[in-house]
Structure 1
Amino acid sequence: MAAKQTDTVNEPDMEYTNHSYADYLTWQMEEVVELIKGKVFKKAAAAPKRIHQKVSGELSFRLTGFLKGKKCQVYAAPFDVRFPKKSKEDDKIHDVVQPDICVICDPEKLDERGCLGAPDLIVEILSPSNSKTELKHKFELYEASGVREYWIIHAETQDLLIYSLTKGKYVPSRLFTSGDVVESKVINGFKLDLEEFFGDIE
């Protein structure tokens, strides 16, 4: 969630570990922040690198085109995804993230504030500033919350790893690189030729 600073800025206590979505809605900050297990994580203050934005834009475009006329919908950051545990009340939700790209196939999970519940597919595009959060905290959150497929793209090295949820646990693919054609198990029929895809990015 990003907002311009005002004279009376309400910012979170970064050491506090029980923040809720209700708290999150009150914050006015220049940085984009996410909430995982009640703890605040700041994303990079600077804008993402050009290659990150190109990968995000091109993949969003392809997913949107493929899913046109189908029930699944594609959203790119900034877009709040809330993961409720026992209650859907704002003050009981302690996990709010902004994936680079997500695909939601259940329209009941969508509201005016974003997605309430696990998307079917999440894509995170890594950079040096966010790798630790994506690989550890978000991995655990997405697995526990039931995100069926989790793609991690390394934009600068042009490779891709897919985690597929099997019996409640993520099973990793091999590392896909140039020359591989990746196929989603969640979005039936969607394929990505990595050599062609990254060739269009440069």
Structure 2
Amino acid sequence: MNVVRKEETCKETYTIDDIYALPEGERAELIEGQIYYLATPSRTHQRLLLSLSRKIADYIDIHQGNCEVNIAPFAVFLNNDDINYVEPDISVICDPSKLDEKGCHGAPDWIIEIVSPGSKQMDYYKKLLKYGTAGVREYWIVDFEKNRITVYDFQRDSLEEYAFSDKVKAGIYEDFEIDFSEINIK
């Protein structure tokens, strides 16, 4: 009689309940049931986050727009399921019906991720795929170490790359651009 040992071939699947059960102060994201822990962002990361979110919010306010800017930590339930939960650095949501006190239920219109040393794989690969398939209209990857802003316009199926000396046009608005040369992150 042959005995066949069953190898474990599937990983444990986590849910949003596991995210909510994390110890106080610990943050993580959930993509397709897998937990990815978040490190504390650097000072440069935070300065860039504040500057970009302020420029976007000021534009929306001046133009009396109905979109809302939210910065991390802010819950985004991408697929309205219990195995996907992300906290993008910046989320712009133009459909107020997606918002409640817990966060955004569905895909934001525009997401910006600021790359940290520990988030490169997530930002450039896992989140790129997840955001593109979830219905995000536009995704920016801002990488200050590489002096690069990568803009994915999923609606137009286009990809553009810029430097921190460039003006970058936001695809979800006709007349809004961010001049990265004006951003002081030092």
Under a length normalisation based on structure 2, what TM-score does the superposition of the two structures give? 0.87
Conserved? CA contact 2:55–2:178, under 8 Å = no
CA distance in structure 2 between the aligned counterparts of 1:188 and 1:17, rounded to whole angstroms:
45
Conserved? CA contact 1:83–1:94, under 8 Å = no
* Among candidates 181, 195, 198, match of residue 167 of structure 2: 181
Q: Offset at 1:38? A: 0.5
Residue of structure 2 in register with 1:161 after alignment: 150
RMSD, matched Cα: 1.8
Q: Offset at 1:188? A: 2.8
Q: Offset at 1:16? A: 4.6
CA distance in structure 2 between the aligned counterparts of 1:166 and 1:187, rounded to whole angstroms:
13
Residue of structure 1 in register with 2:159 after alignment: 172
17 and 146 in structure 1: CA distance in 2 versus 1, 3 angstrom threshold? farther
1:109 pairs with 2:98: yes
The answer for unaligned runs of 5 or more in structure 2 is: 1-9
List, as ranges, runs of 4+ consecutive aligned residues in structure 1 with deviation greater than 6 Å: none
Which runs of structure 2 are paired with 1:34-183 in the superposition (5 Å)?
34-44=29-39, 47-68=40-61, 69-84=64-79, 88=80, 92-166=81-155, 170-173=157-160, 175-183=161-169
CA distance in structure 2 between the aligned counterparts of 1:164 and 1:35, rounded to whole angstroms:
24
Residue of structure 2 in register with 1:26 after alignment: 21
The size of the alignment, in residue pairs, is 175
CA distance in structure 2 between the aligned counterparts of 1:124 and 1:17, rounded to whole angstroms:
27
Q: Offset at 1:105? A: 0.2
Q: Offset at 1:29? A: 4.8
The answer for unaligned runs of 5 or more in structure 1 is: 1-14
Partner SS state of residue 127, structure 2: helix
CA distance in structure 1 between the aligned counterparts of 2:22 and 2:164, rounded to whole angstroms:
42
Residue of structure 2 in register with 1:4 after alignment: none
Partner SS state of residue 182, structure 2: helix
Residue of structure 1 in register with 2:182 after alignment: 196
Conserved? CA contact 1:51–1:156, under 8 Å = no
